[in-house]
Chains A and B, each alone.
Chain A
């Protein structure tokens, strides 16, 4: 896409984050000299295995779990698939009812759909206008044959953080397994398994400055899980296939850094986020902050800008060197508005104006101000083209 400026500001960290230099440094030896297969019994294998086990410890420490409860996967999506399909299949004798929220990531929703085709029953839990799930609503939907509940920790489209501990309490009372997709939250906000009280949790490295193609499922010790693939003994036989050693050690290092830098990062990012939110809401009228105003990810600012469409905004932002994303129908391959925004009760034409910024550790106040300078004229320009806006103005005059 054509760009008029040389300045580039990446504000799309919800899509993916860059790899931190420290993470890359940690990975490089595993792409060069440490090439052994971790399953091998020679020193080449030992070195690779050592890298993986160190990473397992780092990831476990980040979330407060035991290293042996971590299963490395290729992505958050794979972790979610493994949790939903693997736990459901393992529990099938007890019952065939699964509860998921309406705003889950597609890797959870579609995995649930697949289980539906395999004879399971799915209940989709509604959310309120902030995208929050009511713990009582969860309790109400639990039946005798419910075997699994999956509710995400934080939503990557609207930033809303769910009261997982409260929800977990309700689910525990009923003795049902609880998985949480913590892909958007892990590494960005504290994720503490003991406080959360879940049985399984998915995470992904490329959401917190680790490499793409790295993810993990934490699963409580002793729980049965049917693997997605058949193969060797890697990851305790639960995730066969030769380990992606560089990605795994990168994930481990990113986890370690996320743990040690968590609070300074959060402080910085929430400052940038609040500055951006305040700036946009005060300079652009007919704009809605989507998601919860305070219970949200520290780096996440999402909006619906009325009367205009997201893809057009993204293209004009890109022409100014700014990266953002949108949940508008036109930006989706399926030409469907974001299921998250629709589940929150937003009308389709409002959801069309979806615009999402997610800041990262290398962003500065200057970056935010640059976006705040460029966005209003872009919105204005598209509104001047919009028949919806023209109608609105006319009706207002009347």
Chain B
């Protein structure tokens, strides 16, 4: 029995939005405290919307599928909407992950959030939903 479902496999085999944005409006880089992997999200913002989202991932199959899914979910959303993407929503959209792979879904949402925070900081704007969580929440959170 394969460990990943078809949806996860699809995003792993054909990841959407892989790569880097030159001159991004925000960059978010996170490391996985559990297994030491890395994820970077790049965003381009237009009229308070995520005009473009790209990612780079150093990690397992689930981590790659998660990044792809997050990028797809985030693209086109307003910044406020994008901030409501949580690891469990990502896992749900992927129709589930193996138990020991749920921690990989944290990375994606965190990296996206960090990219938006980077953008807000650069522009000096306040975005609803961004300040609700403390900085510690962004990183180092396990599962």
Contacts and interface: CB of A to CB of B under 8 A. Distances in A.
Given A2-B9, A312-B61, A349-B36, 19 more contacts: A1-B3, A1-B9, A2-B2, A309-B58, A311-B61, A312-B60, A312-B64, A315-B4, A315-B61, A329-B34, A329-B35, A330-B35, A330-B60, A348-B36, A352-B35, A385-B18, A385-B64, A387-B40, A388-B38
Contacts of A312: 12, 59-61, 64
Contacts of B78: none
Interface in A352-372: 352
Contacts of B88: none
Interface of B: 2-4, 6, 9, 12-13, 15, 18-20, 29, 34-40, 56-61, 63-64, 100, 103
A346 interface: no
Interface stretch (A93-101, A187-195, A258-266, A331-339): A331-339
Contacts of B38: 387-388
17 contacts: A309-B58, A312-B59, A319-B13, A330-B59, A333-B100, A337-B35, A352-B36, A385-B15, A385-B18, A385-B56, A385-B58, A386-B56, A387-B39, A387-B56, A388-B38, A390-B20, A390-B56
B4 A335 contact: no
Interface residues of A, number: 28
A312 B101 CA distance: 13
Contacts of A328: 35, 60
A308 interface: yes
* Interface residue SS majority, chain B: mixed
B57 A2 contact: no
A384 interface: yes
A307 interface: yes
Contacts of A331: 60
The interface centre, meaning the residue of B13, B29, B35, B63 with most chain A CB atoms within 10 A of its CB, is B35
Contacts of B13: 2, 316, 319
A379 to B, nearest CB: 13
A1 B35 contact: no
A348 B3 CA distance: 24
Nearest to B6: A2
Contacts of A329: 34-37
Nearest to A335: B35
Given A348-B36, A349-B36, A385 B57 contact: yes
A319 B2 CA distance: 12
A319 B13 CA distance: 9
